[in-house]
Amino acid sequence: MRFIYIIIIVLFISPVTKADEGMWLPFLLNDKQIEQMQQKGLEVPFESIYSHSAPSLKDAVVSLDNGSCTGEFVSSSGLLLTNHHCGYNEIQQHSSVNSNYLHEGFWAKKISEELPNPGKTATILIEAHDVTARILESLNGLKGEARQNTIDSLSSIIENEAIADNQYEAEVKSFFYGNTYLLFLTQTFMDVRLVGTPPSAIGKFGGDTDNWMWPRHTGDFCFFRVYSAPDGSPAEYSKDNIPFVPRKHFKINLNGISKNDYSMTLGYPGFTQRYLSSFGVEEIKDVINPVVAEVRGIKQGVWDNAMKESEAINIKYAAKYSESSNYWKYAIGQNKALDKIDVIAKRKQQEKNFQEWMEQDSTLSNKYGKTLAVLEASYLLGRKLTLAETIAQETMLEGPDLVKFALEISSLSMELNSLKKGSEEYKHLYTESVMAIGDMYKDYDPEVDQQVFNKMLGYYLENTTESLRPKTENLLGKKYQEDTAAFVEMLYSKSALGSYDKVLELISEGEKALFEDPAIAFSYQVLGHLYQMMDIHKKLNQQYEEAQRLLLKGYMQKDDGFYYPDANSTLRLSFGKVSDYEPKDGVRYKYLTTLNGIMEKEDKEQDDFEVPSKLKELFRKKDYGQYKLKNGKLPVCFLTDNDITGGNSGSPVINGKGELIGVAFDGNWEAMTSDLAYEEKLQKCICVDIRYVMFIVDKLAGAQNLMDEFDIVN
């Protein structure tokens, strides 16, 4: 099948952009934008950054775990650099009281010591193609479900055609709310092994206290290695697999950075909504974020108390706590930032301007006249549903493990019971199920979880309108409808899900026994009502989606501008510069932090600010080797104004020569609206300086085997 390579989409005319805003699809950048990058400091040909066919830096950048993070190859033997928090689950899974890699760190001294991680993946972009015309020509006059069904059918045909003569994966993705469609061919590697990580006192230094904050002193990095079958193709873990040889890997620059130096990121940002209406932003601010912040705060309080009392529980819950607290703090910070930079008022003004522009032309009025009214009505009608869905999601599906276990284990059991016992297929699935259940219970403490369930159930019942949840009598039974604590006690004592051994017995029994289990019966009642709400919401959203698509099409027509699409876990390029910033009156933050700041923050009374003894010794001796600044200090983190969001974690930060100068890992507190709006003066990308990474690998870990792999530029 022949494709036309993407150069530019006809909707996009003007290349003018403001400041350094933009998560650009690199294959859509035109000559004038590339010229703008060169004026800012890009020295190498753009084809060395992105090329459709020749090896380029896009081949050195991978999407980890279906877009949760980004990583980059830093050797010709598949060595992959990403964030410590992107490998946190794997580090935690390999940790125990006797070998606590979270606390001590881990460094494989040879290939045979690298640790496999079932389920972890690394995906490389092979090609991208524009299929907009082919899809849109079949959608004339179609709306709602009929339109989506046609899109799904055509996408499936296009994807199957694209992989008919190769071993790639194909996916058609929508952009600009369904105004544009692109086909992506990718290759996913399933054998990704942990190679090295600093202790959490380095990789997570500052913890929740410093999360989303500047100045920052966190060595947020770790290393994996991607393995392939002997022929270079993706393969599940096997002792016969070999280190993957990427088409391109990054050279590491130790010359350092200066203020206003060119900087660029390549990565896989997950999800933004920068063209969302004011009504949508208001719903996030007033309905969703307050629930997320409050519920996660309650849950984390239970976890925190238990983690402080037991090292074993601390290890079990470390990854869960880290993931939950990240979004908890984000919800709080985003609401503060929305107020500070007045996003809703600005969005309302944009909509007013659009309305006035549209009303000047009857053709435009006929085409776009109802969009804003439909959007407003959709959000108004769906507000109560959004609240109930968010509460159910946070208290139940993201709350106690018992509910998650109930849904996952029942699904496994039903799949098993659909097969003939004793068959090879049954045996294979049973073995996989046992392993999956074992992974669940490895990080589970029933007493802690029961405390969480008590808190979450109380919140769910008190804050959800009974018409939008199961009736209390039905959910708890007459005996317990006035005593939720007694209900929870009964649930945890009588459900087979409280015990790993009992679960193994349950999954091989029939469906009747499965749904007689009280935890599973409870969970399905909650889930059933949630699905009912979502089904009602889906019907409302059919009108919303059409209106949102038309609104964005209208914005592009009105502004005649070169827009970048919202993030959706596809490869994006952002370019800008290394820079200071001023978060408020009288305060100016410098772009660079050093090891001195770590020592200044050390607090033996706070786990977040523990400093490893060996790092303190290196600081005392000023033993920084080739990684020190001219003033004798050791760089740790720096700031750029690159435009990033979740999913960009681990993205390479690149200089004008196309060399690696850092690893992106966070944004700043004052600009936490980044998923909804770019803030030109405040938005910053927080990066680990590559010199600090190399210093830790070389001087603290003594991992000469890794140092020998790096392609270092001095």
Is position 458 within any domain? yes
The pLDDT tens digits of the residues spanning 349-364 come to 999 999 999 999 999 9
Structure-token match 């604590």, residue found: 485
The single residue of 649, 651, 666, 698 carrying the catalytic annotation is 649
Is position 560 within any domain? no
| Strands 262-267, 652-654: pairing kind | antiparallel
Overall domain count for the chain:
3
The whole-angstrom separation of Cα 322 and Cα 535 is: 32
Structure-token match 């003569």, residue found: 165
The whole-angstrom separation of Cα 127 and Cα 135 is: 19
Burial label for 397, CB within 10 Å (0-12, 13-18, 19+), is middle
Residue 19 has pLDDT above 70, yes or no: no
* Confidence band, pLDDT 50/70/90 cuts, at residue 8: very low
364 and 479 both lie in a single domain: yes
Q: What is the pLDDT of residue 418?
A: 87
Strand partners, 187: 124
Select the more confidently predicted residue: 123 or 680: 123
240 and 285 both lie in a single domain: no
Residue 611 has pLDDT above 50, yes or no: yes
Is position 268 within any domain? no
* Confidence band, pLDDT 50/70/90 cuts, at residue 14: very low
CA-nearest of 82, 522, 548, 66 to 279 is 548
The whole-angstrom separation of Cα 1 and Cα 18 is: 39
DSSP 398: T
CA-nearest of 322, 496, 208 to 314 is 322
Within 10 angstroms of residue 47's Cβ, the number of other Cβ atoms is 12
Interior angle at CA 394, CA 389 and CA 399, nearest 5: 135
DSSP 287: I
Reported as type and span, the H/E element at residue 695 is helix 690-695
Q: What is the pLDDT of residue 5?
A: 33
Q: Are 378 and 544 in contact (CB under 8 A)?
A: yes
Burial label for 228, CB within 10 Å (0-12, 13-18, 19+), is buried
Residue 704 has pLDDT above 70, yes or no: yes
The share of the chain scoring above pLDDT 90, in percent, equals 83
- Quick one: CA dihedral 64, 67, 70, 75, positive or negative? positive
H helix intervals, 360-468: 362-368, 371-392, 401-417, 424-442, 446-463
The encoded tokens of residue 125 equal 């972009």
- Quick one: CA dihedral 122, 128, 132, 133, positive or negative? negative
The single residue of 84, 85, 129, 249 carrying the catalytic annotation is 85
Residue 193 has pLDDT above 50, yes or no: yes
449 and 541 both lie in a single domain: yes
The whole-angstrom separation of Cα 72 and Cα 53 is: 19
Is position 343 within any domain? yes
CA-nearest of 212, 216, 208 to 337 is 212
The pLDDT tens digits of the residues spanning 468-521 come to 999 999 999 999 999 999 999 999 999 999 888 889 888 878 778 888 999 999
The share of the chain scoring above pLDDT 70, in percent, equals 97
The encoded tokens of residue 272 equal 């933004």
Is position 188 within any domain? yes
Residue 93 has pLDDT above 90, yes or no: yes
Structural domain of 183: 26-206+221-250
Q: Are 543 and 604 in contact (CB under 8 A)?
A: no
Is 84 marked active-site?
A: no
581 and 529 both lie in a single domain: no
163 and 299 both lie in a single domain: no
The pLDDT tens digits of the residues spanning 266-324 come to 999 999 999 999 999 999 999 999 999 999 999 999 999 999 999 999 999 999 999 99
632: left (phi over 0), alpha (psi -120 to 50) or beta: left
Q: Are 63 and 123 in contact (CB under 8 A)?
A: yes
The whole-angstrom separation of Cα 142 and Cα 218 is: 51
Q: Are 646 and 67 in contact (CB under 8 A)?
A: no
Q: What is the pLDDT of residue 514?
A: 87
Cβ-proximal residues to 384 (8 Å cutoff; 6+ apart), any chain: 465, 468
The pLDDT tens digits of the residues spanning 614-655 come to 999 999 999 999 999 999 999 999 999 999 999 999 999 999
> Where residue 579 sits, what CATH number does that domain have?
2.40.10
496: left (phi over 0), alpha (psi -120 to 50) or beta: alpha
Residue 105 has pLDDT above 80, yes or no: yes
Lowest mean pLDDT among 163-172, 427-436, 619-628, 656-665: 427-436
DSSP 423: S
Is 220 marked active-site?
A: yes
DSSP 242: E
* Confidence band, pLDDT 50/70/90 cuts, at residue 561: low
Within 10 angstroms of residue 70's Cβ, the number of other Cβ atoms is 30
108 and 234 both lie in a single domain: yes
As a residue count, the chain comes to: 714
| Strands 61-64, 69-73: pairing kind | antiparallel
Q: What is the pLDDT of residue 125?
A: 97
202 and 90 both lie in a single domain: yes
Interior angle at CA 44, CA 39 and CA 47, nearest 5: 110
Average pLDDT score over the chain: 93
CA-nearest of 371, 405, 424 to 547 is 371
Maximum mean pLDDT: which of 97-106, 428-437, 676-685: 97-106
142 and 282 both lie in a single domain: no
Mean pLDDT of 321-341: 93
Cβ-proximal residues to 82 (8 Å cutoff; 6+ apart), any chain: 64, 69, 70, 71, 72, 221, 222, 223, 224, 649, 650, 663
Is 103 marked active-site?
A: no
The whole-angstrom separation of Cα 507 and Cα 434 is: 9
Q: CA distances (Å), 605 to each of 268, 333, 608, 610, in order?
A: 38, 26, 9, 8
The pLDDT tens digits of the residues spanning 41-53 come to 999 999 999 998 8
The single residue of 20, 59, 220, 401 carrying the catalytic annotation is 220
- Return contacts of 580-586, CB within 8 angstroms, 24+ apart: 580/259, 580/639, 581/214, 581/639, 581/641, 581/668, 581/681, 581/682, 581/684, 582/681, 583/668, 583/669, 583/670, 583/682, 584/670
Beta strands (DSSP E) in 117-230 are 122-130, 169-175, 180-189, 191-197, 222-228
528 and 602 both lie in a single domain: no
C-alpha distance across the termini of the chain, in Å: 46
287 and 242 both lie in a single domain: no
Q: How far is CA 354 from the centre of its chain?
A: 33
Cβ-proximal residues to 401 (8 Å cutoff; 6+ apart), any chain: 440, 444, 449, 452
Interior angle at CA 62, CA 59 and CA 67, nearest 5: 145
Is position 4 within any domain? no
Lowest mean pLDDT among 76-90, 249-263, 415-429, 624-638: 415-429
Lowest mean pLDDT among 15-19, 84-88, 129-133, 584-588: 15-19
Residue 436 has pLDDT above 90, yes or no: no
296 and 438 both lie in a single domain: yes
The encoded tokens of residue 87 equal 């490998």
Q: Are 656 and 261 in contact (CB under 8 A)?
A: yes
Is position 263 within any domain? no
Torsion of CA 669, 671, 675, 681, to 10 degrees: -160
The whole-angstrom separation of Cα 186 and Cα 167 is: 9
Q: How far is CA 412 from the centre of its chain?
A: 26
Is position 169 within any domain? yes
CA-nearest of 273, 18, 4 to 127 is 4
- Quick one: CA dihedral 404, 405, 409, 410, positive or negative? negative
Q: What is the pLDDT of residue 7?
A: 30
591 and 550 both lie in a single domain: no
The whole-angstrom separation of Cα 453 and Cα 456 is: 5
Residue 6 has pLDDT above 70, yes or no: no
